[in-house]
Structure 1
Amino acid sequence: MAIADISGRRRFLAQGNVYLPHIAIIEKIIDETPTVRTFRFNFKDEELREEFTFDPGQFAEVSVFGIGEAPFCISSSPTRSDHLEFTAQQVGRLTNALHRLSVGAEIGFRGPYGNSFPLDFLEGKNLVFVGGGIGLAPLRSLIWNVMDNRDKYKNIDIIYGARSPADLCFKYDLDAWEKDKTVSMAITVDKGDESWTG
């Protein structure tokens, strides 16, 4: 593994080549909705597991070998560094292939890429997070980063919506945030069902 500093950002290069993916192993698959899954994974390379860093809002190129590669935001938080996660909705050839994988499967990973949320700018401010459906995935990384550094921020409001209760992603996180007395939560759906009490 090589670490390069490109435009002030660390790049973790497989065999020194920006185009070669690192090998990662899927450790857990979480069914968020009927068409959305979160993939928890870690690198095969032990050194990379220890050294890898990213900032909330960055993305990675994830590949299914023999199928292709696509960009996905890193939906886990850098403050919880024992694993990495990305979340994918089943919409095309590559995401269908991802959804057919099981725990123990190998995937390719290149990154992190892109700009991140301006954490320094957000410190000491009231924060409002607004997301819908799978759009909560990049915000989830930032929300957990903020929650794990709670003393740096003022009020936190989270507004999250989906088409139906079945389309709400990250229900385990929503429950945790709702129980946190320092957070104001509002969850809404376009069309409720018999289970919806909101």
Structure 2
Amino acid sequence: MVTNLYQPIGAKIVRIVDESPAIKTFTVVPERPMPFKTGQFVELALPGVGEAPFTPSSNPSDCGQLEITIMRAGHVTDLLHRSVPGQTVGLRGPLGNGYPVEAFVGRHVYIIGGGVGLAPIRSLLLTLFEDTSRFRSIVCRFGARTPDDLIYKQALFGPWQKVPGVHLRVTVDKADGSWKGHVGVVSSIMHPTDVDPRDAVAVVCGPPIMMKFVTVKLLDFGFRPADIYLSMEKNMSCGVGKCGHCMIGSYYVCTDGPVFTYEQLRKYPNIWG
């Protein structure tokens, strides 16, 4: 039981996987198990340096270790990318609200992700894969800027393609000579016939501009705003709704999110900024 939300528990990085030139996945083992729900986030701290929020990319069923996929994008993440197995870190959490998986049961699950946005989606997928028969279908549309920028390549083109009830397509914005797949932004591989929006939920995670145009397309397909789930990225500095840096309208992304429905956010301006 967490008694002090500001006090991290000790943890150790035990494995680091290079996913792309700018993205790595860190396996972190905390001093004690850290149960979490898919879509929640943690604050990962480098002692004496600082901390930053990340959504675990691993299956919540294994709370003895967390896999956290991190893009090099600032001071803390740059130092994390230079770290090696054995590095001591701190973990605060889990924080926020995740995906309401039970609300997806019996429906089509339409998942659209881009770039490092596949990190929260990986955790969700691993949760759904535990029993795909509970869902009418799981349809995934994933993208990245280039083939090198795709993360989880082995899973994307291997085991995930073979999971019963799952239909997965991948695209890149710009191809190289080795790429044999689709070329175009991720919305270009979305089609109205992918799922029946009357009996489906959509999950979107990725760069803000991608999320904006994917949401517009989902609405055009006939999705209700309440059935579109967005994993929002803001400056979640404290993680507990005190600093106010992550607010969208009246919501604190760190405590009310980071998963929201579009219905909750659509009345506010500049939600993609």
1:8 matched residue in structure 2:
none
1:197 matched residue in structure 2:
180
CA distance in 2, matches of 1:169, 1:141: 13
Root-mean-square deviation (CA), in Å?
1.2
1:62 and 2:44 aligned = yes
**Runs of 4 or more off by more than 2 Å in structure 1?**
79-83, 179-182
Q: Compare relative contact order (CA 8 Å, sep 6+) and give the higher one, 1 or 2.
A: 1
Larger strand proportion of the pair: 1
- TM-score w.r.t. the length of structure 2 is 0.64
Quickly say closer, same or farther: Cα 1:181–1:121, change in 2 above 3 A. Answer: closer
Structure 2 unaligned regions, length at least 5: 182-273
Amino acid at match of 1:42: V
Structure 1 unaligned regions, length at least 5: 4-12
CA distance in 1, matches of 2:45, 2:65: 18
Superposition deviation, residue 162 in structure 1 = 0.4
Partner SS state of residue 197, structure 1: coil
2:169 matched residue in structure 1:
186
- What do residues 63-104 of structure 1 show as CA deviations (whole Å, max 9, x unaligned)? 011110111111111134452111111111000010011001
Equivalent pairs counted in the alignment come to 180
Larger deviation, residues 132-141 vs 172-181: 172-181
Amino acid at match of 2:70: A
1:139 matched residue in structure 2:
121
CA distance in 2, matches of 1:82, 1:152: 26
- What do residues 20-48 of structure 1 show as CA deviations (whole Å, max 9, x unaligned)? 111111111010001100101111x2xx2
| Residue 78 of structure 2, aligned match among 88, 91, 96 | 96
Write the mapping of 1:33-44 to structure 2, written as runs, cut at 5 A.
33-43=20-30
- TM-score w.r.t. the length of structure 1 is 0.87
1:177 matched residue in structure 2:
160
Superposition deviation, residue 180 in structure 1 = 2.3
2:109 matched residue in structure 1:
127
CA distance in 1, matches of 2:64, 2:8: 20
Task: Give the fraction of aligned pairs with identical amino acids, expressed as a percent.
Answer: 40
Quickly say closer, same or farther: Cα 1:182–1:82, change in 2 above 3 A. Answer: farther
Write the mapping of 1:110-121 to structure 2, written as runs, cut at 5 A.
110-121=92-103
| Residue 4 of structure 2, aligned match among 17, 42, 50 | 17
